[in-house]
Structure 1
Amino acid sequence: MTSTIATEAASPSDAVLLATHTPLRIRSRGDGDAGDFITEREFIDAFLNGPVKEGVLVAPVVGESGSGKSHLVRWVYASLEANPLRHVIYLPKAQTSLRDVIERLLRDLPGSQFDEVRSKLGGLSEAVSRETLERKILDELAAAVRDVQVERGDFLTKALVGDRGLYVLLHDPLFREYLLRPESFIPRRAEHALRGRGVDEDDVPPVFTVDDLPLEIANVNNASDLARAAFRKVSADSQMQVAAVKLLNDHLDVAVMRAANLGVGSIQAAFMALREHLVGQEIVLLIEDFALIQGIRRDLLDAIIEVGTVGGIEKYAPVRTMMAVTHGYYSSLPDTFRTRAEASSPVYVVDVDMADVSEGTDRTAVNFVARYLNAARLGAKALEDSAPTTPNACERCPLLDACHAAFGASDDGYGLYPYNESALRRAVAITADPERKSMFNPRRVLARMVRGVLTEEASAIRDGRFPTANFLREERARDREQTAARRQRDLPLAELSALDERYNEPERTRYLLTFQFWGGVSFNVRPDVLSAFSLPPADLQFDEGTTARPPSIENEIQQRPQAATIPPALQRQLEDVDNWARGGQLSQETARTIRTVVRRALVADISWVDPIMKAPLGPVLSRAVPDAGQISRSVSIAGARENLAQGISPILRFEQTPANGLLFKSLLHFQVAPSSAPDALIELRRISDECRSDVIARVVASMEYERTQLIVAAASLIAGAALLGQLALKPRVRDFVGAALWSGDHYVRADNSRSDQWLQTEAKYLADRKTAVVAFRAAVGASQGGGAVHAVDDPRVRDIVTAAAKLVDSFAVDETPSWAREAEQSRLRLVAVIDRQLSEWDAAVNVIRGEVPEGVSYLGTVDAVKAATEMGTNQGFVRANLVEVESANVAARARDFSSVTQLESAIELARASDGLDRWSVVGRAVGDEAVAIAKYLRDTAVWLDAGLRNAEGRDLAGTLDIDADIETVLSKWGDIVTAGEEANGE
């Protein structure tokens, strides 16, 4: 079926071509005027029967690629009737190699001159490989640009010619290798010369561009000195590069001809010989695309405008030349040629303005597509069998009346099914060339909306699934990427939203396409069209007054200010959102505005009561619910640029839907004028309510206030409180709660028995603990504004503390939340000091037990020391400060010796325990009395021992007259010392 839909003019047979041919709109343009429309018959009559001035008539047919200009040339060729006085030469665009073109020009012509050219062509095709031709083209191009004569004042070209210009670059091995790399310009040009235009290649012929110049060679130092100098000259100056490209292109045809062993002017001479040979006849030269003729264009141009009548005598046969060419290429032809051509004939323009097509003021496109649809229904054989007439396939269809009533027909009566006129016009517009959307492009229409759709959607049409999501998918996607001004009109967002809410895929897309194309961008689609597509009547009763969620968003047109009163910046954002809701990308500025509004709503008016906790400050919220540069981690928008790392899950994500487009528009209005969009406030409240639990959870996680973290922190705080003596030895739940919440404010340890290392470590822990307790209280308590926590959630605290009490001996420091980690590390350092502290207490107890053994009275010992002090003083035996000794004796008499026993018990219990029990014992232990007693006994032993040695020394010298009292003192001192030695095992 689709074999009849040819996108290239030379492809179909004459019968198919004539059956599918739609009369083109042709403008006959004279010097400087816009041109008048003429019919094809008027055109062909002027071309074939108009006067030939001095043997020359050149009718340029100008249009953009795909506009139908080549088709017109092919149609003229198919329409020609046999005429012995006409010698017709047809050069199709599919056969544009050197060999093809010259053979067609010289076909069936006898003579040595023609045979010589044919012989050279045979050598070109048989003996020359593409690689050889590439090198020869490069050599000939180098030679051509070296010998160019430069006009005075053309300094750029002057720098490029001669032995030190482009010539040296084209011959240097390094640059030559670059210019001959695969797929670069010279190999492609050689391939064109040998094979002609490829099937999938553009109509635009290969010519040098700045990108083809050897400007990106990294190892330029490997080139010769002259080549490097030329390279620097060209690469450093963009104007020089443009001049180089022009110089190369100007001499490219000459280089190709010389590379093919065809002398410059040989084709011109052969064609002039042909004209001389055919005097008395006319030559009709039809060129489908002059730009694609390789190598011989200059010769051919010169030959077809050469006058045929010299001195009133016809020396050469007249030539009627019809040549299809793009606007740009025609403008680049030599001025002499264009002047002669336009003096002989008008320029004919075949471009059709898309505005006429899409707005329904012209049925060219409708009739054009309908002819191809009819040809597709008939098939190539039926068309060829019925030639020269073209039957209407619809006439044999039993559904003709119903089908034409539903889908319509062309001016010729050809049915438009599966299109109707509305769908056809939109499809034509959407398949237009993106670079020339204002021009009707028959080739694209045939390739995509006729052949493409009939092929890709064939089974869907048969099975009642048409149109599917694949219907013109690429074209629709490309259209969505256009700016709002260039994009096809679409349903209002409110209607798109209603469609989204009512239907799921694939029905939603099928209805949407039907409304967009067959309904003329409305819900008003004929019931018989829906029935033909197996779609039930649409269940959509929508109008601008209908309300849906949220009420005034659906009716935004009535609610919002008129466009004239909307600030330009807001208008741009509204258009941006509209574009986004239809599949485009949302600009960063608009996305940032929307994200900011929504994010502000997410964190506003949250009551921190579930769980109860102190309201977080701004920096905490910014970390948990990111804003500024990372706001997309809080509010993500599909179809907007955002650098979300893998694994990041935003709090809220807006999909690219019409409903969200309506919401965004409402939010943008609200941002500028809150009173104009009360519905936005309702929506923001709904969004914040839906997201509140997630926001709170993220804040809790960010602050490390999750239950497991609080349990570990509480365990650390309980353990620390125990080390500071703030936990009972047999604690209950309320004791644990008090220990966890105790901040240590105004804490001073009354016990002076602790070592300096203990006291320093304890002070550091106490300072760190305060920070951790403040955070813990904030996690479980409430405050007024930014003040301190004034109340805690008792049931929750009890739950946390109960779990913490079970964990207190078994958690690791890296399990604590960061806000409690420094305190935990300080606590562990305090734990590490315990053994040292126990050792110091042990030493004190050992001193006491050495001086006051079991069974010896401490007070009796103190009294004996006091008596010895008094008696020894009179004899001069007290070898210490008497006042201090007496004061120490008095203080010692007041000490509570039971504290020694208590300390001994604490040391023993601490050594027998571990974990919290050990920390509590050590934390609560009081050793200041015992340490003071140990110090007193140690100091007393020192001076007593010194006094005794002094007394004994005097006795041995025989200088001491001892009476009974002194002897008693010495005996008592000796007993005290001896008792101590025995207790020490000496």
Structure 2
Amino acid sequence: MTSTIQTEAVVASPSVFFATHTPLAIQRSRIDGRSFNNAGETVTEEDVRDDFLNRQTSTKTLLMPVVGESGSGKSHLIRWVRERIHASDDRKIIYLEKSKTSLRHVIESLLDGIEDEEIAQIRKDIRQVTGSFDATSLARRLIMQLSVALADLGKESVSGKKRQLVGPRGVSLLLQDPLLQEQMLESGKFIPQFAQHFLSDRESEVERPPRFSLEDLPLSPEAITGDMAAPTRQIFGILMSRPELQGLTVELLNEHLDKAVREISTLGGGRLLGAMQKVREIYARQGKEIILLVEDFALIQGVQGELLDAITETSEREGRRVLAPMRTLMALTSGYFHDLPETAATRISASTGGFVYNLDIVLEEGKTGTEELASFVARYLNAARVGRTALEGTSNGSVPNKCEDCPVRSICHDSFGVSAQGYGLYPFNRSALTRVVHSLAPKENPFSFTPRNILSNGVIPILNDAYSAIEKGAFPSAFFQDNYKGVKGITRSLPNSVSEEIDARDPLNAKRRRTALEFWADSPTQLSNLEQGIREAFSLPALDSLTEKPISTPKGEAAASEPDTPITPPPRADESPVLRRKIQVVEDWAADGSRLTSEEANNIRTVISRSVLYREDWLTPPVKPVGLTEADKSGWNLKNVKSSQVSIEDASAEAMNAGAAIVLKRNPATGEFFKSLIRIYADADGIRAQDILRLASMAEHYRPAMRGRVVRSLERADEDLIVGLRVSLLGAALAGQVVPGMPIEALYAAAFDKGQEWQRPDSSCRTELWMTRLDNHMQHRAGLVDTLLNSLGLGQGVGTVHVIDATRAMPLLQKAAEKWDLSALELPKWAKSAAAPLRAGWEPLLRGQFHELKTLLDEIRERFPRASGPGDRLVQQVSIAMQMAKAEGITGPQGPELETRAAAMADADWGSLSALERDLSRVATDLYGEQVESILAVVAPIRSPHLRAMYDYLKVADSLLDTALAAARLQTENAVSDAAEQLAGLLEEWKQAADGARTDAEAGE
């Protein structure tokens, strides 16, 4: 196949060349300065040849350019003209092939057939120069020669901002820096490619750039090093900071490349110009006209300037012909034409009458050129079928038609179509070819038709792929699907509804069938069968109850088709323009691969998000339902739904968020589903039943994800609830309601109690810090418990919770009760206020309360030892003693106070002292090594409310008895009365008994 389908005209043999030659679409475009109009008179190859050979000019020189973008067929036209110029004795034909780019080959071709001493020396010098360099050394030499050329430029020789760049301290310094030179010598840069082609002919179809570009400048920031000389660093910095100077630098390099090449190749000083003049003189004497055919003028750099001067110099001087007439037909790109020297552009305009031949072909929107495209490709397809050997064996230029003896010709031509010349288009058809052209065209010019591009990137790879893929029943293959796609706004996309139906009816072949319908059936508006021949060739079975899609073009007739415009389903009568626009946006997203705009994406996300929330019944496990507003604030957005919640492939501001709860990929079914969602959002009709079912299924499926996200956002996950329950237990302990180790039922009751009825009657024996923290906790406890109830209970609607899910709550509570400390926990926001009094300084708080109780008990026991008997009897005895003292007038001023304190002790439970004593004894006095839970179990319980009153009473009684005893002794000594003596004895006896009991108690300890 590759021996007959050649992308380079010069490679093919004459037989293959003419067998595959398709008349080119050529325009005769008028020159406008250094550019030309893209529109003009359409001409044929014969017109170009005749104009080239017969146009008369006053100078007897003709410079006729053939312009067009790379691959447009310029060299093909040059080759065709050469093949159609008959040999004669009065012509010398010089043909410069684009594949033979070496300077040696160019010079030898130009000087071929001339025997002259001066010319022989030039040949010798060129051979010596090109033989003494390799590509690397030549590239370095070129850089240095460019540096010299720019350093020698005076500021007066240039204008404008270029003056900053020339001279010995300008751009020349960059070309001398070793590191910057290495950047210019990197693979893919202009200089090394130029050097390679300068020394040897081109070995591949890859074209080198014709000139320097911005990418060739060594201006990467990494290039600055400490070794860079200061002047070099200065010009480097100027160029880095001023982009306009970078473009001027590129211009300078391109302008002086020829001079650098001439100096290296010893062609300086006008040697080539002189040699070409001598060649023309010799042929003039022989009466010959020189025909110069140049396939790519840009590739003969280094000699372009002098060559242009030589080939445009007038043949006559003083009325006498001294130089041979010269006709030059040269191919050059449109961009290169714009960059021609002013003198060359002027001479071209003068010699051609102000015209160029333009090969930039455009397929117009009305499919003008479709038949030309079919004819062009069909010739290559036929040549590939016939084969090179058979083509070269034909005579009279006739080309066999392989289709004539094909056993499936009839069905093949009916299904795939046939060109006007009778060549079958299999495996293409007109629709497929047109779409391939658009797929390969530049985005900025989607109607551009470039023959080389079509052959090298379209026809050849598709045929190579199809050869095996069709045999395996796998065409259109994944290769075809990946490399050839529709162009939005140019080619119609297969309606998404058709794609969805294909997925449902033929899932095994869905991708292939979609591609076949899009390319070979021009995207029908309804699902239909491909023509029989295409179905059978591509192994796509017919679908039941469908008609065939007529897609072939009658033999030899032009395709009649409407412009390629996107297919939009007929609008519903009840749909507003806004709704229709939104539906089309979704269609473009699903069918064309366009981006889903933010408005439509948000509509879709909103409907899905709300559906998921509405589906949640908050019963598994039971919790208080979350309303719309609370859900929107708690992580499940319902208004401005973000892609982190509902991710849609290729939606605006979307990168397929990996953490999204819901991820929706682009496919036909999803596209139709989205259309229904858009209608739901707009409260419009036309919603499909299957889409309602899918929405309900999605809502059910993603309900747990929504619930989980809300729970996480509200910090209601199990780990958060465990922390909240622990905070509640610690607060209850601070209030004396629970202690570590209590039955789970008691803990359960306290954990969900807001504490509104709780009292701490033993506040008199609590530290000030304990009571302050208890008050602070109780201020926030109701909110804490409400959150726990809402998270673990069930209410009516969004009302008060009246049932707690004990099955779920009990395990969490047990986990919470494992430790009675918050120091190592991360608190949910809703628990922080209630937890603040229970966190920092928690252990010091417990230790302080322990010491408070221990000290108070010790003070009481110092005055009321364990062996003293019942406390109420003590109060009674003290009361009797005080009455006797009062009768004797020796009670002192504290008597009334003692009576008051005794009255306060009426209900005191003196037995609670033993319980407190027993509890305190369970932990070490210094608390060394004791766990928080052990200390809390001792200090948290509610103690007797009279502990502080007991201490105060004993303290006053002790002081008063001491005073009364001293007074009684004094009266006894003075023998005031028998009663005083009796009282003194009683007081002494009671005092001794009390001291003795204390001693016994201390000994017992």
What's the TM-score bracket when you normalise by the shorter of the two chains?
A: 0.7 to 0.9
Name the CA shift for 1:635/1:31 in 2 (closer, same or farther; >3 Å).
Answer: closer
CA distance in 2, matches of 1:135, 1:830: 79
Specify the alignment match of 1:509 in structure 2. 511
CA distance in 2, matches of 1:586, 1:304: 59
Could you tell me whether the CA contact under 8 Å between 1:448 and 1:472 is conserved in 2? no
Mapping of residues 110-149 of structure 1, within 5 Å = 110-145=115-150
Whether 1:368 and 2:376 are equivalent positions in the alignment is yes
Q: Quick one: which of 278, 285, 293 aligns to 2:283?
A: 278
Could you tell me whether the CA contact under 8 Å between 2:28 and 2:358 is conserved in 1? yes
- Write the letter of the residue equivalent to 2:987: W
Note the alpha carbon deviations across 1:310-334, whole angstroms, 9 max, x for none: 3443322222211111222123223
Name the CA shift for 1:629/1:806 in 2 (closer, same or farther; >3 Å).
Answer: closer
Deviation at 1:775, TM superposition (A): 0.8
Specify the alignment match of 2:330 in structure 1. 323
CA distance in 2, matches of 1:56, 1:919: 114
Deviation at 1:23, TM superposition (A): 1.4
Name the CA shift for 1:465/1:812 in 2 (closer, same or farther; >3 Å).
Answer: farther
Name the CA shift for 1:710/1:175 in 2 (closer, same or farther; >3 Å).
Answer: closer
Could you tell me whether the CA contact under 8 Å between 1:877 and 1:950 is conserved in 2? yes
Note the alpha carbon deviations across 1:387-432, whole angstroms, 9 max, x for none: 5432222233222222222222222222111112222222222222
Specify the alignment match of 2:434 in structure 1. 425
Mapping of residues 879-890 of structure 1, within 5 Å = 879-890=892-903
Specify the alignment match of 1:99 in structure 2. 104
Note the alpha carbon deviations across 1:722-743, whole angstroms, 9 max, x for none: 5534469998887555323211
Name the CA shift for 1:590/1:188 in 2 (closer, same or farther; >3 Å).
Answer: farther
CA distance in 2, matches of 1:196, 1:268: 23
Whether 1:25 and 2:56 are equivalent positions in the alignment is no
Whether 1:55 and 2:69 are equivalent positions in the alignment is no
Could you tell me whether the CA contact under 8 Å between 2:177 and 2:228 is conserved in 1? yes
Could you tell me whether the CA contact under 8 Å between 1:635 and 1:651 is conserved in 2? yes
The range that moved more, 946-955 or 109-118, is 946-955
Instruction: State the secondary structure of the residue aligned to 2:663.
Output: strand
Name the CA shift for 1:732/1:78 in 2 (closer, same or farther; >3 Å).
Answer: same
Mapping of residues 268-307 of structure 1, within 5 Å = 268-279=273-284, 280-307=287-314
Name the CA shift for 1:669/1:119 in 2 (closer, same or farther; >3 Å).
Answer: farther
Instruction: State the secondary structure of the residue aligned to 1:323.
Output: strand
Mapping of residues 581-980 of structure 1, within 5 Å = 581-588=591-598, 591-592=601-602, 594-596=604-606, 598-603=608-613, 607-610=617-620, 611-615=622-626, 618=629, 621-625=632-636, 631-640=642-651, 648-665=658-675, 667-668=677-678, 673-675=682-684, 687-706=698-717, 710=721, 713-714=724-725, 717-718=728-729, 720-721=731-732, 724-726=735-737, 737-756=748-767, 757-781=769-793, 790-794=800-804, 796-797=805-806, 800-801=809-810, 804=813, 808-809=817-818, 813=822, 818=828, 819-820=830-831, 823=834, 826=837, 837=849, 840-841=852-853, 847=860, 851=864, 853-854=866-867, 856-873=869-886, 875=888, 877-892=890-905, 895-900=908-913, 924-949=941-966, 951-952=968-969, 960-980=974-994
Name the CA shift for 1:406/1:861 in 2 (closer, same or farther; >3 Å).
Answer: closer
Instruction: State the secondary structure of the residue aligned to 1:470.
Output: helix
Instruction: State the secondary structure of the residue aligned to 1:110.
Output: coil
CA distance in 2, matches of 1:887, 1:977: 22
* More helix, by proportion: 1
Could you tell me whether the CA contact under 8 Å between 1:197 and 1:292 is conserved in 2? no
Q: TM-score, normalised by structure 1?
A: 0.86
Could you tell me whether the CA contact under 8 Å between 2:587 and 2:671 is conserved in 1? yes
Whether 1:254 and 2:265 are equivalent positions in the alignment is no
Q: CA RMSD in A?
A: 4.1
Instruction: State the secondary structure of the residue aligned to 1:124.
Output: helix
The range that moved more, 428-437 or 817-826, is 817-826
Q: Quick one: which of 369, 379, 382 aligns to 2:387?
A: 379
Name the CA shift for 1:902/1:230 in 2 (closer, same or farther; >3 Å).
Answer: closer
Could you tell me whether the CA contact under 8 Å between 2:495 and 2:523 is conserved in 1? no
Specify the alignment match of 1:551 in structure 2. none
Name the CA shift for 1:908/1:607 in 2 (closer, same or farther; >3 Å).
Answer: same
Mapping of residues 8-47 of structure 1, within 5 Å = 8-29=8-29, 34-47=39-52
Name the CA shift for 1:927/1:839 in 2 (closer, same or farther; >3 Å).
Answer: farther
Name the CA shift for 1:275/1:830 in 2 (closer, same or farther; >3 Å).
Answer: closer
Q: Quick one: which of 477, 489, 508 aligns to 1:468?
A: 477
Specify the alignment match of 1:495 in structure 2. 498
What stretches of structure 1 of length at least 5 have no aligned partner?
A: 544-553
Deviation at 1:752, TM superposition (A): 3.9
The range that moved more, 55-64 or 580-589, is 580-589
Whether 1:459 and 2:464 are equivalent positions in the alignment is no
CA distance in 1, matches of 2:837, 2:432: 78
Name the CA shift for 1:353/1:218 in 2 (closer, same or farther; >3 Å).
Answer: closer
CA distance in 1, matches of 2:587, 2:956: 91
Could you tell me whether the CA contact under 8 Å between 2:78 and 2:295 is conserved in 1? yes
Name the CA shift for 1:808/1:954 in 2 (closer, same or farther; >3 Å).
Answer: same
The range that moved more, 152-161 or 330-339, is 152-161
- Write the letter of the residue equivalent to 1:83: S
Deviation at 1:666, TM superposition (A): 5.0
CA distance in 2, matches of 1:590, 1:560: 21
Name the CA shift for 1:968/1:196 in 2 (closer, same or farther; >3 Å).
Answer: farther
- Write the letter of the residue equivalent to 2:62: L
Could you tell me whether the CA contact under 8 Å between 1:499 and 1:540 is conserved in 2? no
Name the CA shift for 1:716/1:219 in 2 (closer, same or farther; >3 Å).
Answer: closer
Name the CA shift for 1:382/1:954 in 2 (closer, same or farther; >3 Å).
Answer: farther
How many correspondences in the alignment?
Answer: 957
- Write the letter of the residue equivalent to 2:961: L
Name the CA shift for 1:43/1:656 in 2 (closer, same or farther; >3 Å).
Answer: same
- Write the letter of the residue equivalent to 1:449: G
Note the alpha carbon deviations across 1:284-329, whole angstroms, 9 max, x for none: 2111111111210111111111222334433222222111112221
The range that moved more, 258-267 or 222-231, is 222-231
Note the alpha carbon deviations across 1:5-33, whole angstroms, 9 max, x for none: 11122222222212211111222345678
Name the CA shift for 1:169/1:852 in 2 (closer, same or farther; >3 Å).
Answer: closer
- Write the letter of the residue equivalent to 1:8: E
What stretches of structure 2 of length at least 5 have no aligned partner?
A: 549-566, 1001-1005
CA distance in 2, matches of 1:11, 1:712: 82
Whether 1:982 and 2:999 are equivalent positions in the alignment is no
Deviation at 1:192, TM superposition (A): 3.5
- Write the letter of the residue equivalent to 1:743: K
Specify the alignment match of 1:548 in structure 2. none
Could you tell me whether the CA contact under 8 Å between 1:52 and 1:344 is conserved in 2? yes
Mapping of residues 150-229 of structure 1, within 5 Å = 154-167=159-172, 170-171=175-176, 179=184, 183-195=188-200, 197=202, 199-202=204-207, 204-209=209-214, 212=217, 214=219, 216=221, 219=224, 227=232
Name the CA shift for 1:24/1:938 in 2 (closer, same or farther; >3 Å).
Answer: same
Name the CA shift for 1:540/1:205 in 2 (closer, same or farther; >3 Å).
Answer: farther
- Write the letter of the residue equivalent to 2:142: I
CA distance in 2, matches of 1:852, 1:159: 108
Could you tell me whether the CA contact under 8 Å between 1:594 and 1:667 is conserved in 2? yes
- Write the letter of the residue equivalent to 1:391: P
Instruction: State the secondary structure of the residue aligned to 1:251.
Output: helix
Q: Quick one: which of 449, 453, 459 aligns to 1:444?
A: 453
CA distance in 1, matches of 2:176, 2:56: 51
